C-alpha cells in the first residue's frame, strides 16, 4: 500500500455539503479501531523480537524496529466558509541496523511480519560478520507525560467545524478593520511501538491538536497581517470555547495594533525580547547543542562543556517530559524515556542533546532526543521543548530599566547558520522603548546577530516564562516542537529597520 490519504474529500460551501460525510467518518473510525487492536495485540512483542533477530542475522551491533499508525483530520476555512475537509490514515514500520558507524534503514507500509522481515534483511545489508547480543524485550514502565480524555478521532467532523467557524466569528467581531480570516484545524492520533536489540519495548498513543488563525486588517491604505499558532499533545478537550476565543482575539489584535506602526529604526541598540522570543534561541543556539552537529564538529559549541558560554543569569533547558506540550512524549522514537536536560546552567555549558547513535560515539547515554518525522525516516537528534529558564525580575522592570531601545514581542521567519550561529530574524510585532516605556508600534524590524554572542549580552531575565508551538525542519525531516522564553534584555544587538 502506498503512503497516501486513506480518504480525502473537499467540501464546497460547507461541511454539510459533503457527499455522505457520515459514511466517510464511519469508515475512518472502523479503520482506527482495527489499528488500535493491532497496537494492543499481545503477540506484537514476540513478533518484533523475531524481526530484530532477522535484522542482526548477518552481524551488527544494534537493531531496532519502529511501528507507527496515524489517523488525521484537517479542516480549512476561508472567507467564512469551510473550504476543505481531509481524512487520512498512514501505517507502516521501519527497521534500522547499526554496524560500527554505519547505519542501514528500510521501511514498508505495513505491520505484517513478512513485510517487516523483508525490510530487516535490506537494512542488514550493511553488516557482514561480527555479532550482537540480543536482549529479551521488556515492556517499558507506563508514563503519564502524554494523556488525553477525548481522542480526536472519536469526535465528529461537524463538531470540529463548529470550533473553526467560532474562531472565524470571534476574530471578525474583534474590530471592523479585520477584513480577512483564515482558520486551519488539524488533529491526529499517533500510535507508536518501538523495540530494540537492547531489550526496550514501548508503546505510546500521542494525540496532537493544531489550530492556525491568520487575519488581515485594513484601514485606508494600510494593511497588516496577524496570526496565531496553538498546539498541544492533548485530546479534543483542548479545543474549548475559552481556547478558541483567546486564540482568535490574539490573531485579530496583532493585525489591528500594527496598522498604526511606523518604520522601525536601525542601528545597534538594546532590545527587550518578549515571551515570543523562544524561537530565536531554538534556532540560533539550540541547533548548535544537538549531538550530531557537535560530533561532526560543525557546532560552535563543540568541545566547550564546562566553560562559560553565556552570561551568569542564562540557563537553557530542553525538556521533552513537560506534560502535553507539542514537543513532548513518553518515550522518544528510539524507546528512550523523555527527560529534562539542562544544556546551559548559570552561563556554563553542561552538555548536549543526544540520540542513541551520537551517545554510542561519545560513550554517553541518550538524553531521549532521538526523533523522526515518520516510519519512513531513521531517527536523528532533535530538540523537544527548548527554553530559556525564568529569572526573578518582573517584565515591567526590564522595560523600565531600558532608556531607549526596541521591544520585540512576536517573531516571524529567520535564517541561521548553525556552524557560526549568525542569524537574521524578522520581528512581526515590535514597539519603541522610550524613557523606560513602550510607545509607538514599529514595522519592518529585523534582528541581526550571533547566537553565542547574544547569550553573553543578556543582562536581564524576567520571571514570565511562556511557550509557543512550532515545527522544526532539519535534514529534510519535520518535527513538532515548543520554544519558550521569559522577557529578557539583550544589552546590544543590530536592528535592521526601515526608517
Q: pTM for the full model?
A: 0.92
pLDDT 10s digits, 194-235 = 999 999 999 999 999 999 999 999 999 999 999 999 999 999
pLDDT 10s digits, 436-479 = 999 999 999 999 999 999 999 999 999 999 999 999 999 999 99
**φ, ψ for residue 458, nearest 5 deg:** -75, 115
Residue 307: exposure state from Cβ atoms within 10 A (0-12, 13-18, ≥19):
exposed
3-class secondary-structure state, position 309: coil
pLDDT given for residue 28 in this prediction = 65
Report, as an integer, the average pLDDT of 237-247: 97
Q: Which residues contact 375 (CB under 8 A, 6 or more apart)?
A: 66, 67, 68, 92, 93, 94, 107
Which of 27-36, 77-86, 188-197, 422-431 bottoms out in mean pLDDT, i.e. has the lowest? 27-36
Query: How distant is the alpha carbon of residue 379 from its chain centre?
Result: 15
Report, as an integer, the average pLDDT of 179-186: 98
Query: Which of 442, 451, 456, 453 is CA-nearest to residue 406?
Result: 442
Query: Which of 344, 373, 372 is CA-nearest to residue 356?
Result: 372
Q: How far apart are CA 64 and CA 231, in angstroms?
A: 30
Q: Which residues contact 218 (CB under 8 A, 6 or more apart)?
A: 177, 179, 259
3-class secondary-structure state, position 351: coil
pLDDT 10s digits, 104-154 = 999 999 999 999 999 999 999 988 766 678 899 999 888 999 999 999 988
Which of 15-29, 214-228, 306-320, 396-410 bottoms out in mean pLDDT, i.e. has the lowest? 15-29
> Is residue 192's pLDDT more than 90?
yes
Q: How far apart are CA 58 and CA 211, in angstroms?
A: 47
Which of 25-29, 51-55, 83-87, 446-450 bottoms out in mean pLDDT, i.e. has the lowest? 25-29
Rounded alpha-carbon distances, angstroms, from residue 482 to 139, 386, 414, 471: 29, 6, 16, 8
> Is residue 45's pLDDT more than 90?
yes
pLDDT given for residue 100 in this prediction = 83
Confidence at 22, pLDDT banded by 50, 70, 90: low
- 8 Å CB contact between 365 and 339: no
Longest dimension (CA), the chain: 74
- Per the prediction, the chain carries an average pLDDT of 91
SS (HEC) of 453-490: HHHHHEEEEECCCEEEEEEEEECCEEEEEEEEECCEEE
C-alpha atoms less than 13 angstroms from C-alpha of 72 in its C-beta half-sphere:
20
pLDDT given for residue 371 in this prediction = 98
Class at the top of the CATH hierarchy for domain 7-258:
alpha beta
- 8 Å CB contact between 290 and 382: yes
Domain limits, CATH 3.30.2290.10, in the chain: 7-258
**φ, ψ for residue 427, nearest 5 deg:** -105, 120
Rounded alpha-carbon distances, angstroms, from residue 173 to 103, 166, 223: 55, 11, 18
Report, as an integer, the average pLDDT of 241-258: 97
3-class secondary-structure state, position 147: coil
DSSP E strand stretches across 320-388: 340-345, 348-349, 370-371, 380-381, 385-388
Helices 157-174 & 241-257, crossing angle to 10 degrees?
40
Q: What are the grid coordinates assigned to 379, written together?
A: 531517527
Rounded alpha-carbon distances, angstroms, from residue 32 to 72, 151, 361: 10, 11, 40
> Is residue 40's pLDDT more than 80?
no
Sign of the CA dihedral running 439, 445, 449, 451: positive
Confidence at 497, pLDDT banded by 50, 70, 90: confident
pLDDT 10s digits, 363-379 = 899 999 999 999 999 99
Confidence at 420, pLDDT banded by 50, 70, 90: confident
Amino acid at each position: 500500500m502506498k503512503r497516501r490519504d486513506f480518504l480525502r474529500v473537499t467540501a464546497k460551501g460547507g461541511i454539510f455539503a459533503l457527499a455522505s460525510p457520515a459514511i466517510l467518518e464511519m469508515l475512518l473510525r472502523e479503520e482506527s479501531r482495527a489499528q488500535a487492536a493491532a497496537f494492543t495485540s499481545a503477540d506484537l512483542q514476540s513478533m518484533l523480537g523475531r524481526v530484530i533477530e532477522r535484522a542482526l542475522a548477518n552481524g551488527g551491533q544494534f537493531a531496532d524496529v519502529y511501528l507507527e499508525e496515524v489517523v488525521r483530520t484537517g479542516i480549512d476555512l476561508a472567507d467564512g466558509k469551510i473550504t476543505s475537509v481531509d481524512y487520512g490514515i498512514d501505517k507502516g514500520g521501519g527497521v534500522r541496523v547499526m554496524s560500527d558507524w554505519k547505519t542501514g534503514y528500510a521501511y514498508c507500509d505495513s505491520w505484517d511480519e513478512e513485510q517487516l522481515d523483508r525490510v530487516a534483511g535490506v537494512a542488514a545489508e550493511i553488516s557482514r560478520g561480527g555479532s550482537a547480543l540480543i536482549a529479551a524485550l521488556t515492556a517499558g514502565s507506563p508514563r503519564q507525560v502524554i494523556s488525553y480524555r477525548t481522542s480526536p478521532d472519536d469526535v465528529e467532523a461537524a463538531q470540529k467545524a463548529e470550533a473553526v467557524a467560532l474562531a472565524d466569528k470571534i476574530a471578525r467581531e474583534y474590530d471592523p478593520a479585520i477584513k480577512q480570516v483564515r482558520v486551519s484545524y488539524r488533529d491526529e492520533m499517533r500510535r507508536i511501538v518501538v523495540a530494540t536489540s537492547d531489550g526496550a519495548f514501548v508503546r505510546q498513543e500521542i494525540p496532537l491538536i493544531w489550530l492556525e488563525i491568520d487575519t488581515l486588517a485594513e484601514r485606508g491604505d494600510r494593511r497588516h497581517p496577524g496570526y496565531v499558532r496553538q498546539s498541544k499533545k492533548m485530546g479534543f478537550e483542548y479545543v474549548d470555547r475559552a481556547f478558541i476565543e483567546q486564540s482568535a482575539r490574539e490573531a485579530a489584535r496583532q493585525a489591528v495594533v500594527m496598522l498604526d506602526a511606523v518604520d522601525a529604526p536601525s542601528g545597534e541598540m538594546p532590545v527587550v525580547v518578549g515571551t515570543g522570543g523562544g524561537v530565536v534561541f531554538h534556532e540560533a543556539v539550540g541547533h548548535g547543542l544537538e549531538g550530531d552537529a557537535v560530533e561532526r564538529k560543525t557546532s560552535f559549541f563543540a568541545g566547550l562543556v564546562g566553560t562559560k558560554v553565556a552570561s551568569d543569569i542564562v540557563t537553557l533547558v530542553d525538556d521533552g517530559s513537560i506534560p502535553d506540550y507539542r514537543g513532548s512524549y513518553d518515550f522518544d522514537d528510539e524507546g528512550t524515556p523523555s527527560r529534562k536536560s539542562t544544556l546551559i546552567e548559570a552561563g556554563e555549558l553542561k552538555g548536549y542533546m543526544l540520540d542513541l547513535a551520537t551517545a554510542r560515539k561519545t560513550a554517553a547515554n541518550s538524553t531521549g532526543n532521538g526523533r523522526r518525522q515518520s516510519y519512513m525516516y531513521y531517527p536523528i537528534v532533535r530538540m523537544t521543548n527548548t527554553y530559556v529558564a525564568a529569572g526573578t525580575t518582573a517584565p515591567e522592570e526590564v522595560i523600565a530599566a531600558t532608556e531607549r531601545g526596541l521591544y520585540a514581542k512576536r517573531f516571524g521567519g529567520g535564517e541561521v547558520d548553525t556552524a557560526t550561529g549568525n542569524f537574521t530574524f524578522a520581528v512581526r510585532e515590535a514597539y519603541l522603548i522610550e524613557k523606560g516605556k513602550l510607545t509607538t508600534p514599529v514595522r519592518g524590524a529585523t534582528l541581526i546577530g550571533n547566537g553565542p554572542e547574544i547569550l553573553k549580552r543578556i543582562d536581564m531575565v524576567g520571571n514570565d516564562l511562556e511557550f509557543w508551538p512550532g515545527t522544526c525542519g532539519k535534514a529534510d525531516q519535520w518535527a513538532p516542537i515548543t520554544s519558550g522564553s521569559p522577557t529578557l534584555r539583550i544589552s546590544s544587538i543590530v536592528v535592521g529597520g526601515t526608517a
